[in-house]
Amino acid sequence: MTARAWAELLRVSALFTVPGDALAGAAAVGRRPNRSTALAVGASLCLYEAGMALNDWADREEDAVDRPHRPIPSGRITPRAALTAAGALTAAGLALAARAGRPALTVATGLAATVWAYDLRLKHTPAGPAAMAAARGLDLLLGATATATALGAAPATATATASPTETATATAPTTTKAPAPPARSAVPAALPAAALLTAHTYAVTAVSRHEAQGGSTTAPLAALTAVTALGGAVVRDRPGEGRRAGEPKRASAPARLLVTALTGAYLRTAGRPLAHAALNPSPPLTQRAVGGGIRAMIPLQAALAARAGASGTALAVMGLVPLARSLARKVSPT
């Protein structure tokens, strides 16, 4: 069981699509990433990798026919080792989420349950794409909830006993930061961003169901239509920079330009391979379309962060693109 075999099993090149979920979630609630956001990223990475290991364990018999080169059917990793890794990574992900607070753990538990249900039961049913899409949406909500929980726990003011003299003389005006949104308001605030990411994931997952045999023109064409519509929604429905102040306002020209540029990168990354697969639905082109759809999650996450006014976060997320592209040349993300 070599490091190369584990990298293939866990599809490490797709890992770079995961941190942006939590970061886009933090941006959606109008807050900068904090320690709890980092814990959410760690939990997301563990749960994502748990899903990759469990996926190959559940599909080991099917892969023996369609993909005999995969780590389990080729004998490079045993089924027991893959299942053990899935369980250990799930436990690690939930432990990290628990450190971010009870609301984050609740979301992470739902995410873990969705991942296991998809791999063990729902993957080959009509509910498969919806389950995978729900997992991505929950991942963004995990980042939003963890970020809001940490900030909501911080006291807004401090109280102390003061003497009458001190009370009389302490008349100078003071300024305080706006209180952080309570954790329960994080989910509604992040739902629009989560819905867009969920829709993209659904479209890509529907295409992935044909990547081994190919032959479907309908799936990549429908996904291409969905990707185009999502790009238009991101550009059109942008709250701008006002979320941080609590009042929506028109985004500045540089902010609008950044959202447009990131959306263009998303459309280019996902759209071109989908168009090729729609014209020629062979297994290699279908697999390339799925890989492009997975990598396109990074510019989509960045665009979602930018439209929420978190330009710095958006640029940081886009910094993952060359890393994902470089590693994808060595280890396939599908």
Q: What is the pLDDT of residues 195-205, one digit of tens each?
A: 999 999 999 99
pLDDT of residue 251: 62
Range in 212-226, 275-289, 293-307 with the lowest mean pLDDT? 212-226
Band of pLDDT at residue 190, cut at 50, 70 and 90: very high
Q: Residue 79 CA to chain centroid, in angstroms?
A: 27
> Is pLDDT above 60 for 136?
yes
Count CB neighbours of 247 within 10 A.
7
- Residues 289/220, Cβ–Cβ less than 8 Å: yes
> Is pLDDT above 70 for 151?
no
Residue 264 in tokens? 């263009």
Mean pLDDT in residue range 236-244: 52
Residue 46 in tokens? 């563990």
Q: Provide, rounded to the nearest whole percent, the portion of the chain with pLDDT above 90.
A: 70
CA angle 331, 135, 281 (to 5 degrees): 55
Bin 101: left if φ > 0, else alpha if -120 < ψ < 50, else beta: left
> Is pLDDT above 90 for 296?
yes
pLDDT of residue 329: 80
Task: Tell me the backbone φ, ψ of residue 157, rounded to 5 degrees.
Answer: -140, 160
Count CB neighbours of 331 within 10 A.
16
pLDDT of residue 161: 40
Residue 274 C-beta-side C-alpha neighbours within 13 Å = 30
Give CA–CA dist 299/192, Å, rounded: 17
- Residues 249/240, Cβ–Cβ less than 8 Å: yes
Q: Residue 139 CA to chain centroid, in angstroms?
A: 5
Q: Closest Cα partner for 107 from 118, 96, 117?
A: 96
Give CA–CA dist 126/227, Å, rounded: 21
> Is pLDDT above 80 for 212?
no
pTM of the model: 0.85
pLDDT of residue 186: 74
Give CA–CA dist 206/201, Å, rounded: 9
Write out the chain in H/E/C secondary structure.
CCHHHHHHHHCHHHHHHCHHHHHHHHHHCCCCCCHHHHHHHHHHHHHHHHHHHHHHHHCHHHHHHHCCCCCCCCCCCCHHHHHHHHHHHHHHHHHHHHHCCHHHHHHHHHHHHHHHHHHHHHCCCCCHHHHHHHHHHHHHHHHHHHHHHHHHHCCCCCCCCCCHHHHHHCCCCCCCCCCCCCHHHHHHHHHHHHHHHHHHHHHHHHHHCCCCCCCCCHHHHHHHHHHHHHHHHHHHCCCHHHHHHCCCCCCCHHHHHHHHHHHHHHHHHHHHHHHHHHHCCCHHHHHHHHHHHHHCHHHHHHHHHHHCCCHHHHHHHHCCHHHHHHHHCCCCCC
